[in-house]
C-alpha cells in the first residue's frame, strides 16, 4: 500500500477541508480495515471488513444510521439499524450473491467473540453490503466463506490497500477498474479536532460520465478507449465513520451528503444500482453492562452540522477517485479487460485538473 | 394436518368476511407453503417456504411491498422490495441466526432453477424473515442449511400444517407454544371473487395480554399457569398474498392493516420484537421476456381498498389464533415447557368467546 | 367539564397501568389544552390547541416525532419534525379545509411572542393536524381564523372539556358523536414517576366495528340504531406527550404503539382516513440561547421502552373511548343526527364491559 | 421573458440530452406556469403557480411523488402525496411564512372551480412549497394572499419569466440573486418522444461553492466580491413534470436524481436548507368519474428509467443555472445588495466554461 498512488499523490485536491494524517477512514480512532482477495481461474472477488472500534462492538454498540439513495441492492441488516439507531457488528463488504455466507460467517465470529467474553448472544444483526462483480467474477460460485471473512477481520489495521483489493477485487467503476477507496477530513469543533472518514466500494457509472474536480475527463478517455457503453448496473457502497458525538438521526443526515460526492464524481444514480450509505459514530457507545434506566449522551448542536456535511461530501468524492486511481489494470485470460484510470490520465489532463478552480 | 384443530374448529369466528375454502394463504391461486422441521437433543427449529406462484418467480416478478412495524429484526431483502416494488424470490422463514445460510440456500436454488430454464442470473434478491426461537432452540447451531431449505421448498403444497412446525417449531407466542398460522378472506369485486390470505410466524407477546375476540383470556390462563413473566423479546412475521390486482404502493397500504389483527390478538408491539409484514399480489406479474418500453397493468381503484384492508386485519388476527390453537405442548428434557393454548381453553371460556359480540 | 362523564366514571378500566391524577394529557407537567368551538346555522366546528410546555416552545424546542399510519390527511409541519426531530410550535387541531388559516394564525402568534421576547423569527414550523367534520359542518366556510386560534391558546389550561368541543365540535367517530378525548398513564422508572398522556381527535370508524374492552358493543348498537353504513372517511389524530427523557427516534417508536389502542377500540384504518400520531417529550428542551458546539442529553435505555409503549397503547384506547363517552348527542335543524355513545350504553352492556377480562 | 438570458444563450450546455423547444417545464404538454411578484418598501416576495394540466387536476388527479433530501422546510401537502401517490392541486411556491395563506387561497380556488363544475369538494390537499426570502423581504408581513395567488394562477402560460420573479422575487442562490429557473429534456421511447421538465425555486448555497459545468467559478467570483460568507440557510425546491407514463413509485425514483443536478451546481445540502423535490406525470390521470373497481394504467418498464433519470439530473442542473443567469441585480434602499451571476461572468470565464469537457 505504501506504493499505491492516490489522488493527492497526483496533485489532485478535492474540496476545502484538510484531510487526516492517513487521509483514510482509519484516521477515526479505533476504526480498522482489512481485506481478503480471492482470485482464481474463474473468479475474482473478495471481502473487506470495516471494524468500527477497538471495543467488541456487540458489547459497545455505536450510534449508526443508513440511507438508501437507490435500493437496487442486497445490503443486509438495515432494518434494525433504522429501528435502534445503532450498529452491533463489523461492516462487511463483498459480492452480491455472497452476502448470505458472509452474514453467517459474521454470526459465527460474533458467537466466538461473545463466548470468549462470557456474553450470551441470542440475537445479532450483521451488516453486510455488496456490489456486483459479475463482470469479472463468476459470481455464482460464492467463494467467500467463513475462512475468508475471518481472514479479512484478522487483516484489519489502520493502513490498508485500495483499488482492486478485498471486496473491490472484481469491481468496475465508470467502466474502469474500481473497488475500494478512502479519504478523510478533519473538523475543528469544541474539544476537537474531530475526524470524519469515508470508505467506498465503487462499482457504478459510465465512463463518459466520470468527472474529476468537475472536468469531464471520462468523455476524453471514452473517446480514446472506444469502450462499449453498457447499462449502468453497478452500485456504490459508502461507509462513513466519525468520532464526532452525533445522534443516529444526525448520522442519517450526514449519510445524505455522501450523495454530493457521488454526483460530483460522475454518478447519475443508475436505476440498476444499489447506492447505499452507512454511517456510525465512535462516540456515545452503548455498553450492555451500563445498567440503569437512563443514559447520558453528548450530541452535536444541530446548527454545527454543516461542517460534517461538507466533510462527508468531500471525503466521498475523494474516496471514489482514490478507488479508481489506486486500482491496477486487469486483463483476464478470456479477453475481458478493465483499464485503470491512472494509466489513462496523461500529464496534460492532470495539469488541467490541478489548475481547475484556481481561477487562473 | 387433517387432524389439526384451528379456531374455526372450536367455533371461534373472527370478523365478518367469509374465509376461502381452506381458510389459508394457499386459497390464493398458485401460492404454496412447505415446511422442514428440525428437532434434536439441543435444537428445535425449522424453516418454512412460501412459494408465491406456480411460475418461476424470478422470471415473473410479482408486485410486492413490505412494512416494518417494529424493526428489532433481521429480515433480509427489504431494501430492494421497497425500491422496485417487486418480489423475485420465494419468502423463507426461519430462526434469527440462520437467515444467512437460508439466504445462501435460496441463491443456490435460484441458480439451479435459472440454469434449468436457460435464464442468466447475475443478481438475485432473496427474502428471508425470522423470529428468535432461542427459548427452545440452541440458536447458535444454525442447523438450517441448503438441504433443509430445499426440503421445505419441495414440500410446498396447498395444504400444510400449522403450529409448531417448520419455522414455527421452536416459537413461543404469548408465552404459549406458537408458530405457523394462516387464514384467508374472500372479497367480492368486479371479475371476482378475489382472495387475500395471511401466513404468520408468531413468536411475540406476554400471556396476560392474549385476547380472543377481545376477551382477555390470557389473564385467566396466566392466573392458572403462574408463568414467569418475561420481557417481550419475540417477533411476528406476517406474509400476505392476494390475487387482487393492486400496485406495490397499495400492497404497502394493505401491509399496515395487519397491525390491526396483531393488536386485537394481544400484541403491544414489544420493543425487542421484529414485527414485519410482507405482501405480494399474484396479478400483474412482470415477465422478463416481455420486452417493450411500457407495460399495461390493472390496478384496484383506490376507494375500493377498504375491502382488502378489512380482509388483511381479520385474516391476520385469525392466523395468529390458528398458530396458537394448532400448536401442541412442548416439554423439553431440561424442564423447559411451552403449554399450548388448545389445552388451556376450557369449555366455559370457549362458550364465552363464541358468545361475545352476539349481543345476547 | 366537571360534569362530563368519562370511561372511568362508568367503571370502565382500560389496561393495567395507573392513570395520572387527571387522567389527561395535562398530567404531563407544563402541557395545557384549550378549545374554541364555533357553532352557527351552517357550521359546527372548532379548534383545539395543545401547548407543549410553559416555556416559549420556539425558544425551547422539544424532542418530537410523528408517524403516519394512514396518510389520507392534510397535517402540516411533519417534514421538519422528521428532519430535526423537534417541535417548535404548539400543536393545533381543526377541520380539514381550515389548516391553512390556522397555520397562518400560528405564524402570527409566534411573531408576536418572539417580538415580545426579543427573539428574531425568520422561519417557523407550525404543526397543524386535522380531521374532516364535513358531516356536520359546512367545511367550505373555513370559519377558524386568527381570533379563534388565539382564543383557543388563551383558553389553554390543565383542565379541559372532552367530546364535541374545540376541534371535536363537528367530529363523528364510529358513526356516533366523537371529538376530543384524553387519558394518561404513570410510569415508574429511576427518578420517576414519569407520565405519558394522549389527546385524540376522533373522527373515524364504522359503528359496527366499535369495541369497548374487546366487546363488540358497536354491533349491538348498530342493530338498534339502523344507522346507514357509510364509507369510513374519517380520521384520527393522536398527540402524545411525556416527561420521560426520550430521544426523537424513541418518540417515533412510541408513536407506533398508539396504533394498538386504535385497533382495539375498533379502527380498521379506513383507506380514506388520516391516521397520524405526533409525540413530544418535555425533557431535554433545546434552548436557542445554549451556545456551544455540543449538548448533553439524557435518554431512556432502549430496553426500558416497553413501559412507555404500553402506556401509549392504553392511553390511546382510553382517550378514544373518552372522546365518545364525553360527547353529547347532536341533532341539526336539517335532520342530521349524531347519537352519543353514553346514551346507547345500557346498564346490561356496562356490566358486561366491566366484567370482561375479570375471568369470572 | 423574450429578452431574458439563459444558460444556452451564453453558449453553456448542460449534459447530453436534447432540450425541448422552450427548454422549460412547459414543454410537457398541458403544464403552465404563472407568477405574481410583490415588491414594496419593506417586502420583496411573490408566488409562482405550476398548473400541472389543462384538466381540472382535482377531477383528474395525476400520479405524483415527493422526496425530501433535507427537511428543514415547511412544504405542505406531502403526507397525502406519499400515501395516495397522486396530486390533486396546482403546486404553489412562495415564501416560508406565507404558506398558510397560500394554502387557504388554493382551497378557495378549488372550491370555486369545483362549484363551477358541479363537483362536491369536502376534502382537498393543496401542495405549497417554500423558500425563505427573509434576506430581502420582511417575511413577517405575509403579503401573499388570495388575490396574489389567483393572479399567479391567472397568469399561467407556457412562456414565463425566470430569475427574480414570482416566488423567486426575494430569493438568493449561492449568495447571488436567484429564484425561478427551468429547463427540459426530450426522451426517445416507444410512442415518443416524451419530455421531462424541471422548475426550481433556488435559494441555497454559498458563493464559493457555485460550479458551472464543473468549473468552480464561484470561488473566482467570491474572490472578487469579498462577500461575507453566511451560513447556508437557504432552500431549493424542484418541481419535475413529465408526460412519460410512470407510476408514483417511479416518480419517487426520478425525484432522487434531481439531487445529482443540485450537487453538480454546487449544493452541499446545507443543514438549514429545505431541499425538496416534487414530481408528477401527466399520463394515467385518475378521473373521479371513471367508476368501476379497477383501472388500466400504462407504466414504463423499470429498466428504461435510466433515461428519465438522466433527464432529471441534467434539467435540474440547468434550471438552477438559469435561475441565476436570468436574475437581475437587486439593490435595496437600505444597502442590501444581491449581485447577479450574469454580470459576474466575464468573457474569459465563459470561454473556459464552454471549452470544458470538450477535451481540447
B71 touches C at CB < 8 Å: no
D294 touches B at CB < 8 Å: yes
CB pairs under 8 A between A and D: 113
Measure C357 CA to nearest chain B CA, in Å.
5
pLDDT value of position B313: 98
Total-model pTM: 0.98
pLDDT value of position B48: 98
Per-residue pLDDT of chain B (360 residues; tens, 9 = 90+): 558 999 999 999 999 999 999 999 999 999 999 999 999 998 999 999 999 999 999 999 999 999 999 999 999 999 999 999 999 999 999 999 999 999 999 999 999 999 999 998 999 999 999 999 999 999 999 999 999 999 999 999 999 999 999 999 999 999 999 999 999 999 999 999 999 999 999 999 999 999 999 999 999 999 988 666 666 677 999 999 999 999 999 999 999 999 999 999 999 999 998 999 999 999 999 987 667 999 999 999 999 999 999 999 999 999 999 999 999 999 998 889 999 999 999 999 999 999 886 543
Q: Where are the beta strands (DSSP E) in C286-355?
A: 286-287, 294-300, 330-331, 337-338
Measure B196 CA to nearest chain A CA, in Å.
26
As annotated, the active-site residues of B are: 235, 273, 275
- Which chain B residue has the Cα nearest residue D296? B298
The answer to whether residue A275 is catalytic is yes
> Whole-angstrom distance between the N-terminal and C-terminal Cα of chain D?
35
Distance of alpha carbon C111 from alpha carbon D141, whole angstroms: 10
Mean pLDDT of C226-241: 80
Among the partner-chain residues B219, B303, B356, the one whose CB lies closest to the CB of C359 is B219
pLDDT value of position B89: 98
A214 touches D at CB < 8 Å: yes
Measure A81 CA to nearest chain D CA, in Å.
20
pLDDT value of position B360: 37
Count of residues in chain D: 360
In the structure, what pLDDT confidence band is assigned to residue D3 with cuts at 50, 70 and 90?
confident
pLDDT value of position B230: 66
A335 touches C at CB < 8 Å: no
Mutation test of the interface with chain A: which of B75, B79, B127, choosing the one with the most A Cβ atoms within 10 A? B79
Measure D97 CA to nearest chain A CA, in Å.
21
Mean pLDDT of C158-182: 97
- Specify the residue for cell string 370502565: C12
In the structure, what pLDDT confidence band is assigned to residue D44 with cuts at 50, 70 and 90?
very high
In the structure, what pLDDT confidence band is assigned to residue C360 with cuts at 50, 70 and 90?
very low
Mean pLDDT of A19-26: 98
In the structure, what pLDDT confidence band is assigned to residue C359 with cuts at 50, 70 and 90?
very low
D80 touches C at CB < 8 Å: yes
Contact check, Cβ <8 Å, D83/B253: yes
Burial class of C314 by CB neighbour count within 10 A (0 to 12, 13 to 18, 19+):
buried
pLDDT at A8 over 80: yes
Coil, helix or strand at residue A311 = helix
Contact check, Cβ <8 Å, D223/A269: no
D275 touches A at CB < 8 Å: no
Contact check, Cβ <8 Å, A268/D253: no
Round the CA-based radius of gyration of chain A to a whole number and report it.
19
Residue D104 to residues C142, C171, D111, Cα–Cα distance (Å) = 9, 21, 11
As annotated, the active-site residues of D are: 235, 273, 275
Distance of alpha carbon C356 from alpha carbon C270, whole angstroms: 27
B263 touches C at CB < 8 Å: yes
Q: Give the chains touching B; criterion: ≥3 Cβ pairs < 8 Å.
A: A, C, D
A309 touches D at CB < 8 Å: yes
Contact check, Cβ <8 Å, B306/C219: no
- Which chain C residue has the Cα nearest residue B15? C209
In the structure, what pLDDT confidence band is assigned to residue C2 with cuts at 50, 70 and 90?
low
CB pairs under 8 A between C and D: 116
- In sequence order, the 6+-apart residues with CB closer than 8 A to the CB of A301 are C290, C292, C293, C294, C295
Mean pLDDT of A42-54: 96
Contact check, Cβ <8 Å, C292/A302: no
Contact check, Cβ <8 Å, B245/D299: no
Q: Give the chains touching C; criterion: ≥3 Cβ pairs < 8 Å.
A: A, B, D
Residue C177, C-alpha cell as written in the block: 358523536
- Which chain C residue has the Cα nearest residue D96? C123
Mean pLDDT of A79-106: 98
pLDDT value of position C357: 64
- Specify the residue for cell string 437581475: D328
B277-281, C143-147, C288-292, D235-239: least confidently modelled range? C288-292
Angle, helices D347-355 vs D217-225, to 10°: value is: 170
Contact check, Cβ <8 Å, A73/B84: no
Among the partner-chain residues A83, A248, A294, the one whose CB lies closest to the CB of C298 is A294
Contact check, Cβ <8 Å, A142/B107: yes
Among the partner-chain residues A215, A263, A306, the one whose CB lies closest to the CB of D271 is A306
pLDDT at C15 over 90: yes
Cβ-based neighbour number of residue B291 at 10 Å:
7
Which residues of C are less than 8 Å from B254 in CB distance?
none
Mean pLDDT of C103-125: 96
Higher pLDDT, B42 or C276: C276
> Whole-angstrom distance between the N-terminal and C-terminal Cα of chain A?
35
Please identify among residues 179-198 of chain B the ones whose CB lies closer than 8 Å to any CB of chain C: none
Higher pLDDT, B42 or D320: D320
Distance of alpha carbon C278 from alpha carbon C245, whole angstroms: 16
Average pLDDT, chain A: 95
Q: Checking phi first, is residue C318 left (phi over 0); if not, alpha (psi -120 to 50) or beta? A: alpha
Question: Which helix (H) or strand (E) element contains residue B94?
Answer: strand B91-95
Measure D138 CA to nearest chain C CA, in Å.
9
Among the partner-chain residues D71, D106, D139, the one whose CB lies closest to the CB of C79 is D71
CB pairs under 8 A between A and C: 68
pLDDT at C290 over 70: no
Contact check, Cβ <8 Å, D78/C78: yes
B218-232, D270-284, D296-310: least confidently modelled range? B218-232
A80 touches B at CB < 8 Å: yes
A203 touches B at CB < 8 Å: no
- Which chain C residue has the Cα nearest residue D66? C79
Which residues of D are less than 8 Å from C104 in CB distance?
100-101, 104, 142
pLDDT value of position C253: 98
Question: Which helix (H) or strand (E) element contains residue C115?
Answer: helix C99-117
Measure C315 CA to nearest chain B CA, in Å.
12
The alpha carbon of residue B184 and the mean position of all alpha carbons in its chain are separated, in whole angstroms, by 12
Round the CA-based radius of gyration of chain D to a whole number and report it.
19
C82 touches B at CB < 8 Å: no
In the structure, what pLDDT confidence band is assigned to residue A229 with cuts at 50, 70 and 90?
low
Residue A4, C-alpha cell as written in the block: 499505491
Among the partner-chain residues A70, A72, A100, the one whose CB lies closest to the CB of B101 is A100
- In sequence order, the 6+-apart residues with CB closer than 8 A to the CB of C304 are A293, C189
Measure A147 CA to nearest chain D CA, in Å.
37
The alpha carbon of residue B357 and the mean position of all alpha carbons in its chain are separated, in whole angstroms, by 27
The answer to whether residue A235 is catalytic is yes
Which residues of D are less than 8 Å from A231 in CB distance?
303, 306
Coil, helix or strand at residue C114 = helix
D306 touches B at CB < 8 Å: no
Distance of alpha carbon A348 from alpha carbon A342, whole angstroms: 13
Measure D240 CA to nearest chain C CA, in Å.
19
Residue B280 to residues B5, B63, D295, Cα–Cα distance (Å) = 28, 6, 19
D133 touches A at CB < 8 Å: no
Amino acid at each position: 500500500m505504501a506504493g499505491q498512488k492516490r489522488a493527492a499523490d497526483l496533485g489532485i485536491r478535492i474540496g476545502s477541508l484538510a484531510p487526516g494524517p492517513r487521509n483514510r477512514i482509519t484516521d477515526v480512532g479505533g476504526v480498522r480495515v482489512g481485506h481478503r482477495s480471492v482470485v482464481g481461474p474463474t473468479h475474482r472477488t473478495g471481502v473487506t471488513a470495516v471494524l468500527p472500534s477497538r471495543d467488541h462492538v456487540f458489547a459497545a454498540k455505536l450510534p449508526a444510521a443508513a440511507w438508501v439513495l437507490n435500493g437496487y441492492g442486497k445490503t443486509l441488516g438495515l432494518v434494525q439499524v433504522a429501528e435502534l439507531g445503532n450498529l452491533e457488528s463489523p461492516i462487511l463488504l463483498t459480492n452480491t450473491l455472497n452476502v448470505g455466507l458472509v452474514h453467517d460467517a459474521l454470526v459465527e465470529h460474533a458467537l466466538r467473540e461473545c463466548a470468549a467474553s462470557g456474553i450470551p448472544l441470542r440475537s445479532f444483526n450483521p451488516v453486510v453490503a455488496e456490489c456486483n462483480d459479475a463482470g469479472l467474477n463468476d459470481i455464482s460460485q460464492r467463494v467467500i466463506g467463513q475462512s475468508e471473512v475471518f481472514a479479512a477481520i484478522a487483516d484489519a489495521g489502520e493502513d490498508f490497500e485500495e483499488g482492486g483489493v478485498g471486496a473491490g477485487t472484481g469491481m468496475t467503476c465508470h467502466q474502469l477498474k474500481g473497488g475500494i477507496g478512502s479519504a478523510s477530513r478533519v473538523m475543528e469543533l469544541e474539544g476537537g479536532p474531530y475526524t470524519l472518514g469515508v470508505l467506498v466500494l465503487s462499482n457504478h457509472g459510465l465512463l463518459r460520465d466520470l468527472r474529476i474536480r468537475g472536468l469531464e475527463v471520462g468523455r476524453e478517455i471514452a473517446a480514446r478507449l472506444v469502450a462499449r457503453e453498457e447499462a449502468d448496473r453497478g452500485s456504490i457502497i459508502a461507509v462513513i465513520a466519525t468520532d464526532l458525538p452525533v445522534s443516529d438521526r444526525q448520522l442519517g443526515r450526514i449519510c445524505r451528503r455522501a450523495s454530493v460526492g457521488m454526483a460530483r464524481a460522475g454518478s447519475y444514480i443508475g436505476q440498476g444500482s444499489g447506492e447505499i450509505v452507512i454511517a456510525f459514530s465512535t462516540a456515545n457507545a452503548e455498553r450492555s453492562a451500563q445498567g440503569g434506566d437512563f443514559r447520558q449522551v453528548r450530541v452535536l448542536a444541530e446548527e454545527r452540522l454543516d461542517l460534517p456535511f461538507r466533510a462527508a461530501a468531500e471525503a466521498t468524492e475523494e474516496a471514489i477517485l482514490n478507488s479508481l486511481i489506486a486500482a491496477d489494470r486487469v486483463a483476464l485470460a478470456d479477453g475481458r479487460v478493465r483499464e485503470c484510470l491512472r494509466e489513462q490520465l496523461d500529464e496534460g489532463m492532470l495539469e488541467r485538473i490541478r489548475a481547475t478552480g484556481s481561477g487562473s
